[in-house]
Structure formats: structure tokens, C-alpha cells
Amino acid sequence: MSATPAAQTTDGARVVIKVVRYDPDKGAGMREQTWQIHPQPGMTVLDALIAVKEHHDGSLAFRCSCRMGVCGSCGMMVNGKPRLACNTQIIELGPVVEISALPNHDVIKDLVPDLASTFSKHRAVKPYVIRRDAAEMDKPTREFHQTPEDMLGYVQFSYCLKCSLCLAACPTEASTPAFLGPQALAQAYRYSADTRDEGLSDRAQTVDAWHGVFGCHLAGACSEACPKGVDPALGIQLLKRALLFGPPHRTAAPAVPALPEGFRSPGASSVLEPPAPTV
Ligand code: SF4
Ligand code: FES
């Protein structure tokens, strides 16, 4: 099947897939391997990798599950940018597609990053609603109501997939692995801004620190990389404000002007569009 001009090479409708591979069990270092594929309309980078695995080399390792930009497991570097492979169209990438594992992570094999550090940083910020009424939490007698307006205060940050693309893009993460990172810090704000939550002071013990919010230099690369429009850089700045003035729902008079409606950090991506159907 012929490809669109953007995907064609000089020798026809083929795209070169160039993958940086690594297999610790073989004791060898990294190596590059290339294959040529015929792009199909709607084919994603993940589809191309699956085609390579099925037809050329079954040992190629990568992670995926939902194939629709929801599970967050297929993050990798594609032509120099951290992306979800299942949400990246081959025909938009040109005749050569260079793929490697996410930086700022250990590599388990080929394109499979070790996400243990991402998840442990996420856990460190207590990503759940914390309340002081232990008796009520133990034996609930009522619901904790929340209005749609209350939800708007944090819902953008709840779209996080834990895909770790933001950590791969973050320059502070690259130089300072102890930095909590954009994913965890944005989630600290997500729960602290929840009207049901009373846990900011608990989270402050972890996030109000040099390797917490103050490690962020506001490069904004995390928000540019985020495939869900979470805008973690904005979450970090709002968390700084909450640490100074209290969470937004418990601050009687905001000490600083409210953000304009729909405000996003410069470079923040828009919310993920559903991928085109594959064939
Ligand atoms: S903030 Fe965005 S880029 Fe970071 S883990 Fe969540 S969804 Fe992925
Ligand atoms: S496979 Fe689930 S996000 Fe890509």
C-alpha cells in the first residue's frame, strides 16, 4: 500500500525504523538496528514496532497495553521527543523514525524503561485524599459532596497517566535524580487542591524542599511533553502558591490574583486527541 509523501523514502513507500537496543542479559552495550516497513494509513509508531516484532525480530522489547493513549505504558523517545508510541502517527515523522528508551530512567531492555523510581516518587507525595476525621473515615456516615466547580480546581491534573514522559523531558530530573519530578509534584497539587482533602501539611514534609517544588527551574519541558494536557509545570507553580498561602479551597482571600480561566504554561500541550483508527 502506498504511503503519503511525508512517509516516503527515495526508494518507494517505505519508512526506516531505527531502534536503539539494549539487552543486559547479553552483556553487550547499546546497539542500533534498523528495519524498513511499509506504512499503512493510520499506522502508529506502536503499530510499526508490533509489525517489526511479528515479522522481523520477536526479541524486540517494548511495553504497551491499551493502544489508545490511556494506560501510559508505551512512552519512548521518537525522533528526539518523548511520546506515546500508540498516539504518534508514522506518516507525520518523515522517512526515518529513530526510537530509543526514555532518558532519565534505567533501561530494562530495548525500549522498556524502569518506572520504579517514577512510581516511588508518586507514592512519596501521598496521592490520595487525606482527612483528619479518622472516626468518620473508619465508619462513614455521609458522603463528601463536591460541586462541579470544586472539581474544576483539580480535574486537569487528575488526567495523569503516569507515563513518565514529563520526567524524561525534565532537565532537572536529568541532573538531579533525587528531584521529585513533575509527575509527583503535579499530583501533590491535584490532591491538595481537592476540596475533600486536608493533607497539604502532610505532603509539605516531602514537597516543600530543595528536591521538591524548589528543584523546578520552570523550564516547561514537562508540560510540552505531556500527552494529556496535564500541564505539570503549572501544577508545580500552584503547589508553591498553596505551600505559601494554603490550598485554594481553604484560603479565604487569595493573596495573589487568580489565574485566568484556561491558563496554561507556555508550551503546554493540549489535551490528548484520540489516535486515528489503525488498520
Ligand atoms: S503529567 Fe503528563 S507526561 Fe507526566 S506522567 Fe502524567 S500524563 Fe505523563
Ligand atoms: S499502549 Fe496504552 S498509552 Fe500507549
Number of the ligand closest to the Cα of 85: 2
Is 107 found in the same domain as 206?
Answer: no
Domain boundary among 91, 113, 135: 113
Is 133 found in the same domain as 102?
Answer: no
Is 191 found in the same domain as 97?
Answer: no
Domain boundary among 50, 85, 113: 113
Is 153 found in the same domain as 34?
Answer: no
- 276 alpha carbon to ligand 2 midpoint, in Å? 13
Count Cβ neighbours within 10 Å for each residue of 204-239 and write b for 16 or more, e otherwise.
bebbbeebbbebbeeebbbbbbbbbebbbbbbbbbb
Residue pLDDT, tens place only, 224-254: 999 999 999 999 999 999 999 998 887 654 4
Give the residue whose CA is nearest to atom 8 of ligand 1: 163
Domain boundary among 67, 87, 113: 113
Assess whether the C-beta atom of 232 lies below 6 angstroms from ligand 1: yes
- 210 alpha carbon to ligand 2 midpoint, in Å? 33
Strands 112-113 and 15-21: unpaired
236: CB partners within 8 A, 6+ apart? 182, 185, 186, 189, 213, 216, 218
ipTM of this predicted structure: 0.99
Looking at the domain assignment, is residue 72 inside a domain?
Answer: yes
What's residue 81's pLDDT?
98
Best residue among 45, 47, 62, 67 to mutate for probing ligand 2's pocket (most ligand atoms within 8 Å of CB) is 67
Assess whether the C-beta atom of 161 lies below 6 angstroms from ligand 1: yes
Is 90 found in the same domain as 59?
Answer: yes
Is 9 found in the same domain as 87?
Answer: yes
Looking at the domain assignment, is residue 132 inside a domain?
Answer: yes
Mean pLDDT along residues 52-63:
96
Give the residue whose CA is nearest to atom 4 of ligand 1: 166
Strands 15-21 and 96-100: parallel
Give the DSSP letter of residue 97.
E
Instruction: Please answer whether residues 30 and 12 qualify as being in contact, where contact means their C-beta atoms are separated by less than 8 angstroms.
Output: no
Is 195 found in the same domain as 141?
Answer: yes
Measured distance CA(165)–CA(222) in Å, rounded: 7
Q: Which residues line ligand 2 (CB under 6 A)?
A: 64-67, 69-74, 84, 86
Residue recorded with cell 512519596: 124
What's residue 80's pLDDT?
97
Residue pLDDT, tens place only, 91-146: 999 999 999 999 999 999 999 999 999 999 999 999 999 999 989 888 989 888 89
- 23 alpha carbon to ligand 2 midpoint, in Å? 23
Can you point out the beta strands (E) in 38-127? 75-78, 81-84, 96-100, 107-109, 112-113
Range of the domain at 225: 116-250
Measured distance CA(139)–CA(39) in Å, rounded: 57
Q: What is the CATH classification number for the domain harbouring 54? A: 3.10.20.30
- 172 alpha carbon to ligand 1 midpoint, in Å? 16
Q: Which helix (H) or strand (E) holds 35?
A: strand 31-37
Looking at the domain assignment, is residue 273 inside a domain?
Answer: no
Taking CA 100 as the corner, what is the angle to CA 99 and CA 106, rounded to the nearest 5 degrees? 165
Residue pLDDT, tens place only, 18-43: 999 999 888 778 999 999 999 989 99
| Phi, psi for residue 168 in degrees, rounded to 5 | -65, -30
Residue pLDDT, tens place only, 185-198: 999 999 999 999 99
Q: Cα–chain-centroid distance for residue 250? A: 29
Measured distance CA(59)–CA(138) in Å, rounded: 49
